[in-house]
Amino acid sequence: MSKTASITGGSAFRFGLLLLAMPLLLWLFLLVILPHMDLFLVSMRERISYGKYEFSLINYIEFFAEPLYWNTYVRTAVMSILATVLTLVIGFPVSYYIAKVMRGKGKNALFLMCLIPFWVSELVRTFGWMILLRESGVISNFLQWAGIADGPVEMLYNDAAIMVGLVYTSMLFMVVPLVSVLDSLDDSLIEAGYDLGGNAFTVTRDIVIPHAMPGIASGCIVVFMLTLGNYLTPNLLGGKDSLWFTEQIYTQFITRFNWESGSAFGFLLLILSSAIVWIGLKLSKQTLSETVG
């Protein structure tokens, strides 16, 4: 009697849980798993003639055979890692200042100032940089007015411009986890570090950074993923020479209408980002669960 009751109760509970989890499961299945499965299948076939397809690895072979493709691939990875490191190097002191040096109102104001640029879209922010950096832009005009430059200076369409845009775009995603993790660091630990003879460098290295490691790792993962998968910023600030891997994917899908090759590229990008995040976690001795949680 009681056994049947508990069984029906159990199944009712399970059904309720399923119902609650349904939006998440649907989202995962329809928008993540299903497209990726299809992407994988598409990437593993070759178009023989109109409407006729055959299993083949030609799309992946093509990627390795054509230097432009894997050069772009490696370049995107290296630039993304560099952008992540730069974001960390700039974001860490900013976060430390917000979390540990500022007190009260000033702290909130500074944090808000980091947030405000993200109230406008990435497109608008990138155009803002174009207004500053282009040949007829603000900085170029200022340099001419100040007599430092003789003629108009073009600062757009190079790697530095891409890097500036990427770091600027990613900054918030580094600062937020860092501020929260540094906020949780007890001030007396820092004071104890100084009291026992440490200086700014050793206290940062031995106490602040080890404490902040989960925040650093999660910030870096988010920034790296966003940067690697970014299309807008490299394209607008880097122009035709930007050679970002997402642009290759776009070209395959839209310009060449070669969905097979585009899918293969998409998959390669997924493998690249997963591999680099995994290596990063191994190197920093962090686990994904403790970084995310």
Partner 1 sequence: MADQFDLECRNVVKTFDDFTAVNDISLAIPKGSFFSILGPSGCGKTTLLRMLAGFQAPTSGDILIKGASVLGVPPNRRPVNMVFQHLALFPMMNVAENVAYGLKRRGVDKATITQKVNETLARVGLPDAGPKQISQLSGGQKQRIAIARCLVLDPAVLLLDEPLGALDLKLREHMKVELKQLQHEIGTTFVYITHDQSEALVMSDQVAVMNAGRFEQVGAPQDLYYNPKTAFVAGFVGESNRWHGTVEGGDDHKIEINLASGGKVIAKRDGQTNLVTGQGVDVFVRPEAIAIDGTEGADNSLSAKVDNVLFNGAASSLQVRELVTGHEMTVALPQTGAFASVKAGDEIRLSWSVEQTRCFASTEGGAGA
Distance CA 50, CA 27 (A): 33
Cβ-Cβ contacts under 8 Å for 72 (sequence gap 6 or more): 243, 244, 245, 247, 248
Evaluated on CA atoms 76, 160, 209, 114, the torsion sign reads negative
Question: Minimum distance from CB of 87 to partner 1 (Å)?
Answer: 24
Binding residues among 204-243 for partner 1 as defined by CB under 8 A? 206-207, 210-211
Q: Which residues of 263-283 are buried (b: 16+ CB within 10 A; e: fewer)?
A: bbbbbbbeebbeebbeebbee
Cα 160 to Cα 153: distance, rounded to the nearest angstrom: 14
Beta carbon of residue 177, minimum distance to partner 1 (angstroms, whole number): 18
Token output for 290? 């403790």
Q: Closer to partner 1 by CB, 7 or 101: give it.
A: 101
Largest CA distance in the chain: 94
Closest to partner 1 by CB, 147 or 197: 197
* Helix (H), strand (E) at residue 8: helix 2-26
The footprint of partner 1 on this chain (CB under 8 A) covers a number of residues equal to 17
Q: Which is nearer to partner 1, 99 or 223 (CB)?
A: 99
The CB-of-21 to partner 1 minimum distance in angstroms stands at 34
Task: Report 169-198 residues binding partner 1 (CB under 8 A).
Answer: 186, 188-189, 191-198
Nearer to partner 1 among residue 101 and residue 189 (C-beta):
189
Measured CA angle at 205 (ends 204, 210), to 5 deg? 95
Out of 6, 202, 274, 287, name the contact with partner 1 by CB under 8 A. 202
Question: 16 vs 210, which CB is nearer to partner 1?
Answer: 210
Nearest to 90 by CA among 155, 158, 159, 178: 178
Q: Which of 144, 172, 154 is nearest to 238 (CA)?
A: 154
Give the nearest distance from C-beta 199 to partner 1 in angstroms. 6
Q: Which of 199, 255, 274, 287 binds partner 1 (CB under 8 A)?
A: 199
Can residue 104 be called a binding residue for partner 1 (CB under 8 A)? no
Per CB under 8 A, 150 contacts partner 1: no
Q: Contact residues for partner 1 (CB under 8 A)?
A: 186, 188-189, 191-199, 202, 206-207, 210-211
